[in-house]
């Protein structure tokens, strides 16, 4: 919890939080700001939007094809791994989109040219692209659902999300970000991604890494094993309840000196605390509650374990505990802290105790 800035929270920026976690799910600004603010001593509403606008953070498609925010440096690592699968060269992609591997350089250039003057909505981008005879056949794709095609462009570093316009998503060139230096070479990106994950989520296991990088970014198991082995003495083996796990060697002393936490945290649905290890990890999510958490309930966490769910209605926060509730005073303190994150007074109205 200390490493994830949850106990204690830290006097850091939103960008610092994202850097510490590697990447943060970003389906909506409100949920993402709550995830970041839950880890900040002085959360500042709107800081996420400003950080993206200033180029300190990039919002793009990453793990499991979902939208995430990451620093430009980390985005170059994660996108390189996602792009290395070259999914757009699969026969099924070629048939569906009518684009062969040899068509992609010109298509990517056309996309970058279309975005050269600033962000466009997907509809506007599609209209510009399909005005060219070579890509007119993509009209139906842009009319129906262009997002899978746009993901392939995001993975290759051609575009990312821009500022919303009248409630609509926009897309902009990624190379316009001053912090963007392109995709990292895969042989460099792989070990960096492993190290980043172990630092943020260790003690961890090869199975967790396979979940995050393999299932999340399409990394092959053989490559992952090679990268883990290549880190050599940078990794150390420890035991968690008799099970072998990995940590960074430089973190072993801090880990062994850490004491148990009883801190209460109210986190948004799909927070990285559960997305990182996955809801199937029983150390974090009780087996009996996995379905509710996977469906997107807000997380009431005690000492790092999901012990309940919570909801907000206007200025009221209701908490439903799976088992015995923590002391009401501890929950009230967390609700008060939640008020500073969202910028409005809240009060606890439902607690089994």
Q: What is the pLDDT of residue 351?
A: 55
Question: Number of helices and strands (H, E) in the chain?
Answer: 17, 12
Say whether both 110 and 163 belong to one domain.
Answer: yes
Q: pLDDT tens-digit profile of 16-28?
A: 999 999 999 998 8
**CA atoms of 75 and 62, how far apart (whole Å):** 8
Model's pTM, two decimal places?
A: 0.94
**CA atoms of 85 and 82, how far apart (whole Å):** 6
Say whether both 296 and 247 belong to one domain.
Answer: no
- Taking phi over 0 as left and psi of -120 to 50 as alpha, with beta for the rest, 266 belongs to beta
**CA atoms of 82 and 154, how far apart (whole Å):** 10
What is the phi/psi pair of residue 302, to 5°?
-125, 120
- Domain boundary, last residue among 259, 285, 305: 259
Using CA atoms, how far residue 99 sits from 122, 138, 140, 144, in Å, is 19, 10, 14, 17
Contact 14, 47 (CB under 8 A): yes
- Average pLDDT of every residue of the chain: 95
Angle (nearest 5°) at CA 278 between 222 and 8 = 115
* 346 Cβ contact partners less than 8 Å away, ≥ 6 residues apart: 312, 315, 316, 317, 335, 336, 338, 339
Q: Taking residues 191-195, what's their average pLDDT?
A: 98
Q: Residue 264 corresponds to which tokens in the numbers above? A: 């209460």
Q: What is the band of 167 on the pLDDT scale with cuts at 50, 70, 90?
A: confident
**CA atoms of 77 and 217, how far apart (whole Å):** 11
Say whether both 156 and 200 belong to one domain.
Answer: no
Q: What is the pLDDT of residue 350?
A: 63
Q: pLDDT tens-digit profile of 267-301?
A: 999 999 999 999 999 999 999 999 989 999 999 99
Q: Is residue 29 part of a domain?
A: no
Q: What is the pLDDT of residue 159?
A: 98
At 124, is the secondary structure helix, strand, or coil?
Answer: helix
Say whether both 249 and 215 belong to one domain.
Answer: yes
Q: Taking residues 102-109, what's their average pLDDT?
A: 98
Say whether both 163 and 246 belong to one domain.
Answer: no
Q: What is the pLDDT of residue 217?
A: 96
Q: Could you count the other beta carbons within 10 Å of the beta carbon of residue 229? A: 10
Say whether both 116 and 152 belong to one domain.
Answer: yes
**CA atoms of 251 and 234, how far apart (whole Å):** 10
Q: Is residue 124 part of a domain?
A: yes
Domain around 89 = 79-176
Q: Taking residues 19-38, what's their average pLDDT?
A: 95
Q: Residue 157 corresponds to which tokens in the numbers above? A: 């570093």
Q: Name the CA radius of gyration of the chain, rounded.
A: 21
Q: What is the pLDDT of residue 32?
A: 96
Q: What is the pLDDT of residue 156?
A: 98
Q: pLDDT tens-digit profile of 196-218?
A: 999 999 999 999 999 999 999 99
**CA atoms of 295 and 315, how far apart (whole Å):** 24
Q: Is residue 12 part of a domain?
A: no
Q: What percent of the chain has pLDDT over 70?
A: 99
Q: Is residue 39 part of a domain?
A: no
Say whether both 159 and 246 belong to one domain.
Answer: no
CATH of the domain at 91: 1.10.10
Which residue in 54, 11, 13, 52 sits closest to 29, CA to CA? Answer: 52
List the beta bridge partners of residue 247: 236
Q: What is the pLDDT of residue 352?
A: 46
How many structural domains are present in the chain? 3
Q: What is the DSSP letter of 99?
A: -
- Domain boundary, last residue among 259, 291, 308: 259
Find the largest Cα–Cα distance for the chain.
Answer: 67
Q: Is residue 319 part of a domain?
A: yes
Question: CA neighbours within 13 Å on the CB side: how many for 117?
Answer: 6
Q: Taking residues 44-67, what's their average pLDDT?
A: 95
Say whether both 84 and 104 belong to one domain.
Answer: yes
Q: Which residue matches tokens 């591997």? A: 101
Q: What is the pLDDT of residue 125?
A: 98
Q: Taking residues 240-260, what's their average pLDDT?
A: 93
Say whether both 202 and 282 belong to one domain.
Answer: no
- Domain boundary, last residue among 147, 176, 205: 176
| Residue 353 scores a pLDDT above 80 | no
Q: Residue 100 corresponds to which tokens in the numbers above? A: 């062969």
Q: Residue 94 corresponds to which tokens in the numbers above? A: 């070629």
Q: pLDDT tens-digit profile of 118-165?
A: 999 999 999 999 999 999 999 999 999 999 999 999 999 999 999 989
């Amino acid at each position: 919890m200390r490493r994830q800035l949850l106990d204690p929270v830290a006097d850091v920026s939103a960008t610092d939080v994202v850097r510490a976690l590697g990447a943060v799910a970003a389906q909506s600004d409100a949920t993402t700001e709550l995830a970041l603010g839950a880890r900040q001593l002085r959360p500042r509403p709107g800081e996420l939007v400003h950080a993206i606008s200033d180029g300190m953070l990039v919002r793009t498609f990453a793990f499991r094809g979902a939208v995430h925010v990451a620093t430009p440096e980390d985005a170059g690592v994660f996108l390189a791994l996602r792009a290395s699968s070259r999914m757009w060269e699969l026969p099924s992609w070629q048939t569906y989109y009518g684009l062969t591997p040899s068509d992609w350089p010109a298509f990517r250039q056309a996309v970058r040219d279309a975005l050269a003057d600033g962000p466009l909505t997907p509809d506007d981008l599609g209209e510009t692209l399909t005005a060219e005879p070579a890509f007119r056949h993509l009209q139906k794709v842009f009319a129906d659902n262009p997002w899978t095609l746009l993901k392939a462009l995001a993975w290759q570093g051609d575009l990312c999300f821009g500022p919303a316009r009248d409630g609509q998503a926009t897309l902009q060139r990624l190379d316009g970000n001053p912090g963007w230096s392109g995709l990292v070479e895969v042989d460099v990106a792989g070990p960096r991604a492993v190290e980043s994950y172990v630092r943020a989520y260790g003690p961890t296991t090869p199975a967790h890494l396979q979940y995050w990088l393999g299932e999340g970014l399409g990394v092959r198991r053989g490559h992952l094993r090679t990268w883990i082995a290549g880190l050599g003495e940078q990794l150390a083996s420890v035991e968690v309840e008799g099970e072998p796990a990995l940590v960074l060697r430089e973190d072993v002393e801090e880990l062994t000196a850490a004491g148990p936490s009883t801190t209460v945290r109210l986190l948004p649905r799909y927070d990285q605390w559960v997305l990182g290890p996955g809801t199937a990890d029983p150390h974090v999510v009780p087996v009996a509650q996995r379905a509710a958490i996977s469906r997107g309930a807000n997380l009431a966490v005690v000492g790092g374990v999901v012990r309940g769910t919570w909801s907000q209605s206007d200025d009221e926060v209701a908490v439903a505990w799976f088992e015995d509730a923590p002391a009401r005073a501890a929950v009230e303190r967390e609700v008060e802290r939640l008020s500073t994150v969202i910028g409005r007074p809240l009060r606890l109205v439902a607690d089994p105790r």
